[in-house]
């Protein structure tokens, strides 16, 4: 693929709103001129992630990660620079006329295009002649055409070449269809459709792009019941949620997310008016899932099937959710029913009520353990021990104490016994945490003065003439490189594409910190002059010390040489 011209990149930069780009992933709150939120790149409970709309940059004071909107997409979605530019260009309506030459073609865009073509086909097929059997199946489950239309539900025709043909039409190579997981290769050459004779659910990323499909069997002996897209360049089960783009706003508004396990369950919730819901796509809840949710809300309601498998899945989900400090409730369902059944049997109101009144999941776990019986000392011990591993995962000590008390009451085991057992588990597994993070290095006065000088130059182009002087007294090569770049007079979001590693971290930090009381140029000029004179003095001192050290080293060396010589002479004269 070709190179993107520099002025096009600049156009995209000018139009993109970084708050908008980051805001899709991180829940941001206004803080002065900037925005703050929980860093998506490291674990934290208090926000140290900063977005500066004026600068078009972000920076995390916790882990040091920083950059502009392109950098954010690259880091968060694993895109290459041109992919990030292209993706944002589409959003802000900048047309990219490529120059010849340049890097390797990206596979992301063609795979997304293949998914889009398949999605259009599946939707058409549901409404067409072939789709009668699928429409009948959906109707039986209470889903009409309007619902199917709203959520892009479709039908993969019961043919071997429906997608094959559509991709050919769109000039998309079958290999791309294979990479997307839409097609499979035949041993003797050629390809065939993966989803056949199934209801199709489009799985979308947070930006609404179709990244994969879930296929529900409708034939009696069709196996398996659910067939999901395999991993692809754009589809990662570990982080994909069905229904995510529809849920983003509702999650923020309700400050709550409801997690279910299946496509039909998700649709049942949507029909009942519960829009703040997501479904996992054929996998247990992962840590990545949990992080993506926690950035948006701390309140999670699990709504899993009422059977044994569903309850076990609930406990597994708890193990992933609790360590992240999430407040997890578990809505109970009658045994053998899933949310879809409940909606059909008892109606929307009953379903919503169960969600709104869902008790803390730990209480449910306690009730479950106690239900096995607590009449003998052994039973009481078993019941307590079944819940203690979950208690040990609760990071908040007050919350943990409260659940400890409840477990003690329910089982009749002494609270301090439970505390002791919990602590034993925690110290066995949870210690040795390394809290030190990159970018939290201790910096000397020279670095402080230097960064202040850079800050002034970034904000007052009128003082750029003094940049040369500054480059000379850089305390380390990274800062020297950054000073040279800043001396070019380019703006922060442009510079962030030019520098890498430590200079980038420092630059994004400076942009996030802002100027404080150095807004006025006169004051800033004085601060710069002051920093420069101190830097020169410190540099002289540093050089003098280095020289002295070298001289001292030399003197030591000389003394050793002399001693050795003397020794040799004495030995010789003794002979």
Give the interface with Zn ion as residue ranges (CB under 5 A): 39, 41-42, 60, 62-63
Cβ at position 502, least distance to Zn ion in Å = 15
Min dist. Cβ of residue 63 to Zn ion (A): 3
Nearer to Zn ion, 268 or 511 (CB): 511
DSSP 421: H
Within a 13 Å sphere around the CA of 468, how many CA atoms are in the beta-carbon half? 1
- Of the pair 39, 73, the CB lying nearest Zn ion is at 39
Would strands 257-260 and 277-280 be described as parallel, antiparallel, or unpaired? parallel
Residue with tokens 């949710």: 293
CB nearer to Zn ion: give 41 or 235.
Answer: 41
Report the C-alpha gap between 72 and 77 in whole angstroms. Answer: 8
The distance of closest approach from Cβ of residue 24 to Zn ion in the complex, given in angstroms and rounded to an integer, is 17
Nearer to Zn ion, 62 or 475 (CB): 62
Nearest residue (CB) to Zn ion, 63 versus 386: 63
Angle at 42 between CA 52 and CA 285, to 5 degrees: 120
Q: Which is nearer to Zn ion, 64 or 282 (CB)?
A: 64
CA distance 52 to 69: 11
State the minimum distance, in angstroms, from the CB of residue 40 to Zn ion.
Answer: 8
Residue 39 tokens read as 């860093």
Q: Least distance (Å) from Zn ion to the CB of residue 327?
A: 23
Residue in 58, 50, 239, 271 with CA at minimum distance from that of residue 148: 271
Q: How far is CA 499 from CA 45, 447, 470, 482, in A?
A: 30, 18, 18, 7
d(CA 240, CA 244): 8
> To the nearest whole angstrom, how small is the minimum distance from the Cβ of residue 58 to Zn ion?
10
Q: How many CA atoms lie within 13 A of 309 on its CB side?
A: 5
CB 217 within 8 A of CB 226: yes
Contact 350, 342 (CB under 8 A): yes
Shortest reach from residue 64's CB to Zn ion, in Å: 7
Query: What's the length of the chain?
Result: 575
Nearer to Zn ion, 41 or 151 (CB): 41
């Amino acid at each position: 693929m070709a190179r993107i011209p520099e002025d096009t990149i600049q156009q995209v930069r000018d139009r993109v709103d970084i708050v908008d780009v980051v805001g899709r992933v991180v829940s941001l709150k206004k803080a002065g001129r900037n925005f703050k939120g929980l860093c998506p790149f490291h674990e934290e409970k208090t926000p140290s992630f900063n977005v500066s709309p004026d600068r078009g940059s972000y920076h995390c004071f916790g882990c040091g990660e920083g950059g502009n909107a392109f950098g954010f997409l690259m880091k968060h979605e694993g895109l290459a620079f041109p992919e990030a530019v292209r993706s944002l260009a589409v959003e802000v309506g900048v047309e990219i006329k490529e120059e010849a030459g340049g890097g390797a073609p990206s596979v992301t865009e063609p795979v997304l295009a293949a998914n889009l073509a398949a999605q259009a086909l599946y939707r058409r097929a549901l409404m067409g002649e072939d789709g009668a059997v699928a429409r009948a199946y959906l109707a039986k489950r209470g889903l009409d055409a309007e619902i199917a239309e709203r959520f892009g539900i479709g039908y993969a025709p019961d043919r071997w070449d429906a997608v094959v043909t559509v991709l050919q039409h769109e000039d998309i190579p079958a290999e791309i269809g294979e990479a997307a997981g839409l097609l499979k290769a035949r041993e003797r050459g050629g390809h065939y459709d993966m989803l056949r004779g199934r209801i199709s659910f489009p799985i979308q990323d947070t930006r609404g792009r179709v990244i994969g499909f879930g296929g529900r069997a409708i034939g009696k002996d069709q196996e398996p019941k659910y067939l999901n897209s395999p991993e692809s360049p754009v589809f990662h089960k570990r982080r994909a949620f069905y229904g995510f783009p529809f849920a983003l706003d509702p999650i923020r508004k309700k400050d709550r997310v409801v997690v279910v396990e299946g496509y039909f369950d998700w649709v049942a919730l949507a029909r009942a008016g519960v829009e703040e819901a997501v479904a996992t796509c054929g996998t247990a809840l992962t840590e990545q899932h949990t992080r993506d949710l926690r950035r948006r809300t701390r309140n999670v309601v699990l709504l899993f099937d009422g059977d044994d498998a569903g309850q076990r899945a609930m406990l597994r989900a708890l193990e992933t959710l609790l360590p992240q400090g999430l407040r997890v409730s578990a809505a109970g369902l009658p045994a053998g029913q899933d949310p879809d059944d409940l909606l059909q049997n008892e109606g929307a109101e009953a379903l919503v009520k169960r969600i709104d009144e869902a008790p803390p999941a730990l209480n449910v776990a306690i009730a479950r353990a106690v239900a096995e019986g607590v009449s003998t000392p052994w039973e009481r011990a078993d019941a307590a021990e079944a819940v203690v591993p979950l208690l040990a995962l609760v990071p908040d000590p007050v919350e943990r104490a409260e659940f400890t008390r409840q477990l003690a009451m329910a089982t009749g085991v002494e609270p301090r016994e439970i505390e002791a057992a919990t602590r034993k588990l925690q110290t066995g597994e949870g210690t040795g945490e390394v809290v030190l993070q990159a970018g939290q290095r201790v910096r000397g006065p020279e670095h402080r003065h230097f960064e202040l000088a850079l800050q002034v130059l970034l904000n007052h182009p009128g003082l750029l003439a003094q940049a040369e002087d500054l480059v000379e007294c850089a305390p380390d090569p990274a800062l020297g490189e950054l000073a040279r770049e800043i001396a070019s007079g380019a703006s922060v979001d442009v510079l962030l594409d030019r520098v890498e590693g430590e200079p980038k971290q420092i630059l994004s930090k400076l942009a996030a910190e802002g100027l404080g009381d150095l807004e006025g140029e006169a004051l800033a000029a004085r601060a710069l002059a002051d920093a420069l004179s101190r830097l020169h003095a410190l540099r002289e001192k540093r050089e003098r010390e280095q020289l002295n050290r070298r001289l001292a080293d030399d003197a030591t060396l000389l003394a050793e040489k002399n001693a050795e010589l003397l020794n040799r002479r004495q030995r010789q004269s003794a002979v």
